[in-house]
A = this chain, B = another copy of it.
Amino acid sequence: MKWNTKITKVEPNHLVTAGYPQEDLIGNIPYPSVVYLLLKGKLPSQEHGQMMDAILTACIDHGVTPPSAMASRVVASGGVPLPTAVAAGVLSIGDAHGGAIEKGALFLQNSVKKMREAKKSFDETADFLVKESREQKKRILGFGHRVHNSDPRTKRLFKLADELNISGDHIALSKAIEKSLEKNLGKKLPINVDGAIAAIISDMGFDYRLGKAFFLLGRVAGLTAQVYEEQTREKPMRKMFTVDAEYDGPDEKKLPK
Contact = CB atoms under 8 A, between A and B. Distances in A.
Interface residues of A, number: 129
A135 interface: no
A220 interface: yes
Contacts of A83: 80, 90-91, 93-94, 98, 212, 216
Contacts of A218: 31
B1 A221 contact: no
A7 B212 contact: no
A168 interface: no
Interface in A113-157: 146-153, 155-157
Contacts of A246: 2-5
Contacts of A157: 26-27
Nearest to A34: B57
A14 interface: yes
Interface in A1-44: 1-10, 12-32, 34-35, 38-39, 41-43
A74 B74 contact: yes
A84 B84 contact: yes
Contacts of A84: 80-81, 84, 91, 94
B6 A229 contact: yes
Nearest to A53: B31
Contacts of A221: 34-35, 38, 217
Interface stretch (A63-71, A104-112, A174-182): A63-71
A140 to B, nearest CB: 16
Interface of A: 1-10, 12-32, 34-35, 38-39, 41-43, 50, 53-54, 56-58, 60-65, 67-68, 70-71, 74-75, 77-88, 90-99, 146-153, 155-157, 160, 207, 209-210, 212-213, 216-218, 220-222, 224-226, 228-229, 231-233, 236-237, 239-256
24 contacts: A1-B239, A1-B241, A2-B245, A3-B246, A6-B247, A7-B222, A9-B63, A10-B245, A13-B149, A15-B152, A17-B61, A19-B252, A19-B253, A25-B57, A25-B255, A27-B53, A68-B78, A78-B94, A79-B95, A79-B96, A146-B237, A209-B228, A213-B224, A220-B220
Given A20-B255, A70-B70, A70-B240, 5 more contacts: A6-B248, A7-B229, A16-B247, A18-B249, A78-B91
Closest 9 CB pairs between A and B? A79-B96, A19-B250, A6-B249, A96-B236, A79-B95, A9-B247, A78-B92, A78-B97, A80-B94
